[in-house]
Chain A
Amino acid sequence: MSWTRRIVNLFRQRRLNRELDEEMASHIEEAIERGRDPEEARRAFGSTLSHREQSRDIKLVSWLDSLISDAVFGWRQLRKRPAVSAAAILSLALAIGATTAAFRLINAVLISTLPVAEPDRLFVAAMTYVDRDGHADYRDDFDYPSFLRYRERVGDRADLIVAGMVESRKTVVVSSATEEETAYLQYVSGNLFPAFGLRPALGRLLTPDDDRIPGGHPVAILSYDYWTRRFGRASSVIGSTFRMGNDLFTIVGVAPKGFIGTEPGSIADLFLPATMNVEPLDKPGWSWFRLWVHPKVGVSPEQVRQPMQAAFAREHHEYLRNFPSDTPKPVIDAYLREKVILLPAASGASELQREYRRPLLILAALVVLVLLIACANVGNLLTAQATARAREMALRVAIGAGQWRLIQLVLVESLLMAAVASALGTLFASWSAPIVVAMLHVPEDPVRLVLHSGWRDVAFAAGLAFLVTLLFGLAPAFRASSVKPMHALKGGEDPHARRRLMRVLLAGQMAFCILVQFVAGLFVSTFQHLSNRPLGFSPYHLLTIYADASKSRPPQFWMEVAHRLRATPGVESVATAGWPLLERSTWRVSVRLPGHPVELRSPWALDVSPGYFRTMRIGLIDGREFRLGDLPPRLDDAKHPLPGVGIVNEAFARTYFDGQNPVGRLVHVLREKDISAPMEIIGYVRDAVYRDLREPMQATLYVPSMERETNAFMVRTVGDELAVAPMLKRAVTNFRWDVRLHDIQPQSNFLRWQMLRERLLAVLSVFFAVVALLLAAVGLYGVLNYSVTWQRHEIGIRIALGARPDQVVQRVMAGLAGTVSFGLVLGLAAGILCGRFIETLLFEVRITDTSSVATPILILLGTALVAAIPPAIRAVRIDPAQTLRSE
């Protein structure tokens, strides 16, 4: 008996006793009123206490007794057939576990709301646009100058809040320590904590007064988690300091427990005033935060959006002046149609959320299919078992059990099974969910998700158990309760109906199973295609390192640093570039060809040093690499164009020169509105992926690097690239103390990072596909086995009359083959229909490819054959003499 039940009973018992006492007392009083002697009346009535006990037992027991006895009986039933029960419970546990794990993930990323006062009244601003391929999209990163303008326009209608992207691994030195350590920090505007209605766990939180003067508020708030982890919840932390770069910050407070920033997927350790992120404050176009909107009481989001939209439209119009005068009209129109929108953000806003929303929902759908397959399995097992139960049920009806009583009996049994399965499943989920989260990250940049097991999880698991019970228990329960004792006791209960139910379940199972196989197949071949796509460069044994010089330095300076790096043992060659390929940083330039109209798809550009193509292993088709002294096309101080040189790739030659060798040709590169500088093409190289693995090769223009404060080194090593990293750091520090290396990453990390989503989808969907296949095989085996049992007399007679084994097998399988094929067709049709929803997640895979359709069919048919062999053997081995005698 559960503790809740006990409490309910206790409560009920007390009330019951009171009522019983009152009723009996009134009886005696009534007697006295009618003139009986009080003494005599009491004696005649006897012991009130014993009557009360008797009555109470009647009331309580009938209420509870049936439940308890059903539970005990159900448990005994489960124990009586351990193999079947274990199979049912395990398959359910697996499915419930997977579902719960998926739910916990989805809850953590998409559902669970921020622990703030009014999560439903929080929005993030975003700007819509249409990308180059015509897809509508939005971006939600803003720059500080536009924030200031929006804030002025919106006035007191709403709080506009800056919430910086959580920055990974900033190096800090805490006052008491000498060692550097890393922390995650988020720049937030001073009004964030008040607008979110948060109270400090210790000290104070940031206020608008902490966020007025750029660089003037060196204060910081710790997250509760970081305070616990790093400082052991010491209250002395208030007033202590830490150093970050050249700035000394004072810790003034601790954020409330549970508030870990605004981005699901990352956890902030430190909150700093936005105005302390000094560098980008006055730089338009330098987008580094999300803009949160909290409308004041009585103000609708739309009333806030309108003034923002007005400001946005005006800026857009102003910026239009920078467009080249011959920009085509559709481009201008599309540009002017862009607008500001407000998105509900009760659950926070992050890249992880955007990128994984659809994949997570698809995985959840797969998981639900697996769960349904498991339910169908258990339903089938129960139905098959029901042959034995039919007599028992008939007996119960014959001795007077009501219909509801029988339904209760079967449901309690299902509930027991579901409860055990839920318990096992929850264990499985708590083990598997963190593994999935671990799969979401590359070593250098862990995704940090809070997988809390709050009331939602408990409610979900409980609700799931209940639903599952209904799903697999209700049909057998109703069937059981409607038995006709006469029929069943005679052994003649209509077996066709039962077989029909099993067939429907089997067809459904096959349909769901092939749907899962189909989707898994699509994701697996997407992952394969993506892994095998030609990159155009070699990402292995290649280290990418960012270097900061404290001021702008010419190419000669950077080449000297590169020489130092190259002198390190284990290094093969070194070059610089503006940023590593596949890092997702981009730069586009507009080019003009004499006699060509302006191009809509302007090429990517990247500034690179001499030796870049050799280091990256990008093939040189013709011409030469850059040399020191080569200059890009540019403007002088009086805005007069100066000629320069460039190197282009094959896609560029295809786009602008019909695929002919472009070496020696001249293009004009637009440097400012309507002013372009001539560029001579001196080299022609192979295509290389620039920004995104999923994109086709893009026209790319490489230019010689110019003065830079920050540069990225590409270091080609002989052996393990990470082993060389510490030596490189030392070599640079010894050479120039003012050059700082950071973000040291193997190039292959970018690759892995970009394939993360596909890897996750492929691995998990294969896992679900295998589980679904196993469950379906068990289900098919069960139904076939039952069908052999049911037909054994007929088979016996046929064998006695001389049927050959193949005829027997055909006889048994014929009906089910139709059911299986029907399920397959249904499932595939559903898969192709649902395909639209997943198409955007696929790469070079089409839903209607023969291999996409044929592979799951073959897999499933193969499995079906394997599952059918044991029952087929059983059918063939039936001994006619024995079966006929048994009747």
Chain B
Amino acid sequence: MAIADALQGSLDLLVLKILSRRAPLHGYAIMTSIETLSGERLRVEEGSLYPALHRMEESGLIRGTWTTKDNGRRLRVYDLTARGRKELAKEESRWTAVATAVQRVLRLA
């Protein structure tokens, strides 16, 4: 079951995480990875993936390069930069902190 709008605000974090493990990946593969790893619970809006990728590329978190597939088609694949790696660590701990805090509130309230 997919959760609508569940990715609000956390798409960047997920992209960074995925790329930290299995870069370089192209847009479609990033999308499917997120869906598979979340057990099909998280769905990536295809329309919002690319602007997000391009925004992250502009701010220097990821780096896009063109590669050619065996069948001759060109693919744009993305890779993590050093800054992206730092950002990932920061965002990850922030996310964990927030999640723990929210958990705590839910539990104690």
The residues of A with any CB-CB pair to B shorter than 8 Å are: 19-20, 22-24, 26-27, 29-31, 34, 44-47, 50-51, 54-55, 58-59, 62-63
Given contacts A51-B47, A51-B51, A58-B51, A27 and B26 within 8 Å (CB-CB): yes
The residues of B with any CB-CB pair to A shorter than 8 Å are: 26-29, 32, 46-47, 50-51, 54-55, 57-59, 73-76
**Complex alpha-carbon distance, A58 and B46, angstroms:** 17
Chain A contacts for B26, CB-based, 8 A: 26-27, 30
A26 with B73: CB separation less than 8 A:
yes
CB distance from B60 to the nearest CB of A (A): 10
A55 with B54: CB separation less than 8 A:
yes
Given contacts A46-B46, A59-B58, A27 and B28 within 8 Å (CB-CB): yes
CB distance from B96 to the nearest CB of A (A): 22
Chain A contacts for B74, CB-based, 8 A: 22, 26
Given contacts A27-B27, A30-B29, A44-B46, A55 and B51 within 8 Å (CB-CB): yes
The 17 sampled A-B contact pairs (Cβ below 8 Å) are A20-B50, A22-B76, A26-B28, A26-B73, A26-B75, A27-B27, A30-B29, A34-B32, A44-B46, A47-B47, A50-B47, A51-B47, A51-B51, A54-B50, A55-B51, A58-B55, A63-B58
Contacts A55-B54, A63-B58 known; 15 new A-B pairs at CB < 8 A: A24-B50, A26-B75, A26-B76, A27-B26, A27-B27, A27-B28, A27-B50, A29-B73, A30-B28, A30-B75, A51-B47, A54-B50, A55-B50, A58-B54, A62-B59
CB distance from B43 to the nearest CB of A (A): 10
Q: Which 10 A-B pairs have the closest CB atoms?
A: A30-B28, A46-B47, A55-B54, A23-B76, A62-B58, A54-B51, A45-B46, A58-B54, A27-B28, A58-B55
**Complex alpha-carbon distance, A63 and B58, angstroms:** 8
Chain A: interface secondary structure?
helix
**Complex alpha-carbon distance, A46 and B75, angstroms:** 20
Chain B contacts for A50, CB-based, 8 A: 47
**Complex alpha-carbon distance, A45 and B44, angstroms:** 10
A59 with B47: CB separation less than 8 A:
no
Closest residue of B by beta carbon distance from A46: B47
B28 with A59: CB separation less than 8 A:
no
**Complex alpha-carbon distance, A46 and B44, angstroms:** 13
CB distance from B40 to the nearest CB of A (A): 14
**Complex alpha-carbon distance, A20 and B66, angstroms:** 12
Closest residue of B by beta carbon distance from A41: B46
Most chain B beta carbons < 10 A, residue from A20, A31, A47, A54 = A54
A27 with B32: CB separation less than 8 A:
no
**Complex alpha-carbon distance, A54 and B55, angstroms:** 10
**Complex alpha-carbon distance, A609 and B76, angstroms:** 99
**Complex alpha-carbon distance, A55 and B47, angstroms:** 10
Chain A contacts for B47, CB-based, 8 A: 45-47, 50-51
Closest residue of A by beta carbon distance from B75: A26
Chain A contacts for B54, CB-based, 8 A: 55, 58-59
Most chain B beta carbons < 10 A, residue from A30, A59, A62 = A30
CB distance from B106 to the nearest CB of A (A): 31
**Complex alpha-carbon distance, A20 and B49, angstroms:** 13
Closest residue of B by beta carbon distance from A50: B47
Most chain B beta carbons < 10 A, residue from A19, A27, A51, A54 = A27
CB distance from A299 to the nearest CB of B (A): 54
Chain A contacts for B76, CB-based, 8 A: 19, 22-23, 26
